[in-house]
Amino acid sequence: MIKHSNKTYWIGFCVVLALLIVAPLVLPEFWRRFLTEILIWGLLAMSSDILIGYTGMISFGHSAFFGLGMYGAAAALLLVSPPNMWIAIGFGLVAAAIVSLFVAYFSTRLRDIYFAITTLIFSQIFYVIIFTWTEVTGGENGLAFSRPQLSIPGIYSTPFTTETLHWFVLAVVTASYLILRRVTQSPFGMVLQSIRENEPRTRAIGYPVERYKIVAVMLSGLFAGLAGVLYAIQNKFAAPDFVYFLISGETVIFNVMGGIGTLVGPIVGAGFFLMLRELLSRMFGDQFPYLIPLGFIFIAMIIFLPQGLLGFARRWLNR
Amino acid sequence: MSVQASTDTRSPAASRGAAAPILKTELLTVRFGGLAALSQVNFEVARDEVRAIIGPNGAGKSTFFNCLTGVLRPTGGRIVFNGDDITGLPSNAISQKGIARSYQITNILPNATVLENVRIAAQSRRHAWNMTAHHSAFTDINEKTESALESVGLRSKAHELAANLSHGEQRNLEIGIALATEPLLLCLDEPTAGMSTAETHDTMQLVKSIAKDLTILIVEHDMQVVMELADRITVLHYGEILAEGTPDEIQRNPKVLEVYLKT
């Protein structure tokens, strides 16, 4: 029985992956970039699902991890010449890891809303530092840099095109998904879910809950940082706006819309949200306050679809 | 229930009095403000004994369990378990030392299956930090889980959601979770609370069967259960030990009759 539904799962996985691989060959230029961007935001949302959906900790500070990944990549691309994609990824991940260790150490002592507020405050602290430290971070204007080449060190190097960038992002997001899926199914992942279900009981059967939470926050922060690196590579700039808490809020909304505790749900949620925003501004023009109808749609979804778009498939997706 | 009733599970703890006690408290005290929930309790349990703790409501039974399992930090005194001082350790550390507990109010993972509930406890000793293997891939954990499910008679319900079990089954699942951590000492907080007569009977047989290779502390209000299961009984009253002895001695103790059994 389990074998059978595993088979349908992998067939579904391959179909979606194939569609995403073919997409840039058939879509017009704008939508190609748009799809790549959805994948990047989806990776950010997916990383926070580790905390929201699997561990039961709502983080409102994911913009800090995302932003630090972005600025880490920016530092590498500006300081190292010629700009190297892998060094940018390395810098971004190290920056995100340091910040997430710092945030995790202090915030995991708190639970529920207190955890959420603490992560929010930390992300705002990083925002203020980045916004005001103009000599290093470029302040309000951020940093602009050139895009590195797509390279396999020592073998191959070529400038990114829209297609190859899309495939590169797709490869990173798919690999991240497979890694995170495996982690959530591992004994460690089961402990996180046990913490979500019943924290005192998890402690009582012998788990040092705080340590698991710290590792969960770090893991989540690392993949959020990776999303930040990808965004930097795609858009060739880093700006303080991406460390601002609105990004964290959107991350939570992607999760809720798509279905928490599914990993792919948040990607779908990000796609749904960004598509809606794009459609609304196309229908009514750029000046249209799209957040108002978006807010109504969000409220309606909370009421009529509280599990999110993929919530119904939660158990199946996690098998 | 597949458990066989054995005619005599009472291990003659008294006869091996020379062995060091597995659990010992010295002057254990817990105060909530001015109220002493436990005052200077000196308590010893021998290895493989089944010890019942009885007493009226508010006597300090649950407080005592909370101290032993690290939920509460005692105000004073010492707890020595299996040669180690465990006073004030957090509950996860105490669990790793070998004390497991079932709760008075059912405390399980309701949205997980019975199997998952037990397996998460079984993997707490080994492979807990593994991030790269599937959680069901470990034969040692699966065997431990199976045997814990078997001993509480829930093997046939392994794939049901814990929330869908009957109250009695959930109570037994509690014991299964505790057993899966392979404890040396099992603390049962009113294991038959809210159960029907038939369920109570089954749970008693279950406790008897697991008592063969385990030290058990049991808080219980049902005197019939206590008298049948326990090797020795400790009576708590207002946070102090009022009496201690075999079930026969306790039933004849005038002080105990006065404060507890008579009513």
CATH of the domain at B51: 3.40.50.300
d(CA A131, CA B175): 56
pLDDT in tens, A40-86: 999 999 999 999 999 999 999 999 999 999 999 999 999 888 888 89
Least CB–CB distance from A188: residue in B130, B177, B180: B130
Q: From the CA of A77, how many Å to the nearest CA of chain B?
A: 32
d(CA A249, CA A280): 20
Structure tokens given for B114: 């019975």
Evaluate whether residue B27 is within a structural domain. Answer: yes
pTM for this entry? 0.88
Least CB–CB distance from B92: residue in A185, A188, A208: A208
Average pLDDT over residues B84-92: 91
pLDDT of residue B1: 38
Confidence of residue A118 (pLDDT cuts 50, 70, 90): very high
Which residue in A242, A266, A271 sits closest to A254, CA to CA? A266
* Record: contact B95-A204, CB cut-off 8 A: yes
* Mutation for testing the B interface, residue in A3, A201, A211 having most B CBs under 10 Å: A201
Q: Judged by CB atoms within 8 Å, which residues 130-189 of A form the interface with B?
A: 182-183, 185-189
Domain count, chain B: 1
pLDDT of residue B262: 63
Least CB–CB distance from B92: residue in A182, A187, A206: A206
pLDDT in tens, B31-75: 888 888 888 889 999 999 999 999 888 888 889 999 999 999 999
* Record: contact B130-A209, CB cut-off 8 A: no
Q: Which amino acid is at A223?
A: F
- Domain region containing B38: 10-98+222-263
**Do you know the residue count of chain B?**
263
What number of CA atoms fall less than 13 Å from residue A209's CA on the CB side? 24
pLDDT of residue B192: 86
Could you give all domains of chain A from N- to C-terminal order, each with its CATH number?
2-317 (1.10.3470)
Confidence of residue A246 (pLDDT cuts 50, 70, 90): very high
The residue behind tokens 């049991």 is B218
Q: Judged by CB atoms within 8 Å, which residues 20-39 of B form the interface with A?
A: none
Average pLDDT over residues A175-189: 95
The pLDDT of residue B14 is above 60: no
Evaluate whether residue B20 is within a structural domain. Answer: yes
pLDDT of residue B224: 86
Residue A6 touches partner B, C-beta closer than 8 Å: no
pLDDT of residue A3: 55
Q: From the CA of A289, how many Å to the nearest CA of chain B?
A: 41
Which residue in A98, A116, A122, A123 sits closest to A52, CA to CA? A116
Evaluate whether residue B123 is within a structural domain. Answer: no
Which residue in B222, B188, B214 sits closest to B69, CA to CA? B188
ipTM: 0.84
Q: In what order do the strands lie in the sheet with B35-45?
A: B35-45, B23-32, B76-81, B84-85
pLDDT of residue B263: 53
Evaluate whether residue B170 is within a structural domain. Answer: no
Which residue in A194, A189, A202, A215 sits closest to B181, CA to CA? A202
Task: Give yes or no for a contact between B41 and B25, defined as CB atoms under 8 angstroms apart.
Answer: yes
Least CB–CB distance from B112: residue in A188, A197, A209: A197
* Record: contact A187-B116, CB cut-off 8 A: no
Average pLDDT over residues B153-165: 91
* Mutation for testing the A interface, residue in B104, B111, B131, B181 having most A CBs under 10 Å: B131
Which residue in B215, B213, B252 sits closest to B230, CA to CA? B215
Evaluate whether residue B104 is within a structural domain. Answer: no
Q: How big is the A-B interface in CB pairs under 8 Å?
A: 91
Least CB–CB distance from A187: residue in B92, B110, B123: B123
